[in-house]
């Protein structure tokens, strides 16, 4: 079977030409294409979460995020990143501050007030933290993160449509268009949540380095305007949630980085009290 067979219909309807091999992520099938000579990407959602995220991406309208050119059912045709910049490489190559500032600027842009709402059901942050709530009594480290989450969820501030998964591989270089976000979730809540993952990315080998944590904490506080103590509580809460997700996926070894970051946040909170 030709790997392009499942794409033939949409390729014909939208007058697209393949521009690379199809590939897949856990929630989507993707195909690089050309649209009137322009680099684009076909993305077909295979999960409800991916479909909802596509609705958020459409709502942003290319403002701070990749533009969606067309959509049909579970498939979107979107702008493709062609720039040579890479935030993970920057973070690991001596330009960590710059990478964090780019991420913060992208988050701030996405959080701007916009008319209307995405054409999907948005998940409140309290529901988003359900996985952590379920394991809060399984480990003292989960309990510590849940207590931070519970206090924040009871006192929301600056509620916005969130990206929900901001990290170094979800903000890409789109050349002349600058750095833009991809792959949003479908979450609504306190804006501080979107900044927590910048300090908690388990795919960043230096995430749990104490010196790096302290330095990037300073950068995020300066760029976001968030109170330091509140940001630290979001980091503590989100690190526990991320660890709980790894537990659900059977990747218990990967949760240790999250627990280490949670410990750093707790230490800084203790120093500030």
Verify whether residue 165 is a known catalytic residue: yes
Closest CA to 171 of 266, 88, 113, 271: 88
Name the token pair of 250. Answer: 């059977």
Q: Is 153 left (phi over 0), alpha (psi -120 to 50) or beta?
A: alpha
CA distances from 153 to 80, 124, 133, 237 (A): 36, 10, 12, 10
**Cβ(253)–Cβ(158) below 8 Å:** no
Closest CA to 170 of 251, 265, 57, 258: 57
What is the number of helices (H) and of strands (E) in the chain? Answer: 11, 11
Burial class (CB within 10 angstroms; exposed 0-12, middle 13-18, buried 19+) of 193: buried
In whole angstroms, give the CA distance from residue 66 to residue 170: 11
Using the Cα atoms of residue 256, residue 258, residue 260 and residue 263 in order, give the sign of their dihedral.
negative
Burial class (CB within 10 angstroms; exposed 0-12, middle 13-18, buried 19+) of 112: exposed
**Cβ(254)–Cβ(138) below 8 Å:** no
H-assigned helices in 210-254: 210-224, 228-248
The catalytic residue among 165, 169, 173, 209 is 165
Q: Which amino acids are annotated catalytic?
A: 165
């Amino acid at each position: 079977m030709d790997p392009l067979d499942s794409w033939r219909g949409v390729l014909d309807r939208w007058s697209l030409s393949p521009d690379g091999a199809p590939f897949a992520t856990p929630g989507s099938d993707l195909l690089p294409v050309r649209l009137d000579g322009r680099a684009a990407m076909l993305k077909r959602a295979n999960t409800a979460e991916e479909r909802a995220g596509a609705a958020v991406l459409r709502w942003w309208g290319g403002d701070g995020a990749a533009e969606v050119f067309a959509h049909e059912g579970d498939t979107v045709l979107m702008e493709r990143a062609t720039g040579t910049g890479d935030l993970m490489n920057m973070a690991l190559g001596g330009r960590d501050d710059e990478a964090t500032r780019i991420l913060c600027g992208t988050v701030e842009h996405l959080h701007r007030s916009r008319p209307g709402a995405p054409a999907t059901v948005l998940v409140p942050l309290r529901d988003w933290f359900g996985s952590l709530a379920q394991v809060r009594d399984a480990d003292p480290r989960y309990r510590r993160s849940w207590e931070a989450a519970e206090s924040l969820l009871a006192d929301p501030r600056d509620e916005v449509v969130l990206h929900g998964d901001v990290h170094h591989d979800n903000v890409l270089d789109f050349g002349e268009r600058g750095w833009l976000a991809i792959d949003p979730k479908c979450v609504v809540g306190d804006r501080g949540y979107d900044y927590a993952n910048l300090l908690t990315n388990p795919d960043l080998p230096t995430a749990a380095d104490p010196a790096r944590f302290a330095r990037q904490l300073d950068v995020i506080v300066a760029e976001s305007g968030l109170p330091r103590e509140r940001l630290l509580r979001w980091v503590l809460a989100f690190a526990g949630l991320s660890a709980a997700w790894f537990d659900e996926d059977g990747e218990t070894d990967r949760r240790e980085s999250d627990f280490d970051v949670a410990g750093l946040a707790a230490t800084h909170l203790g120093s500030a009290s």
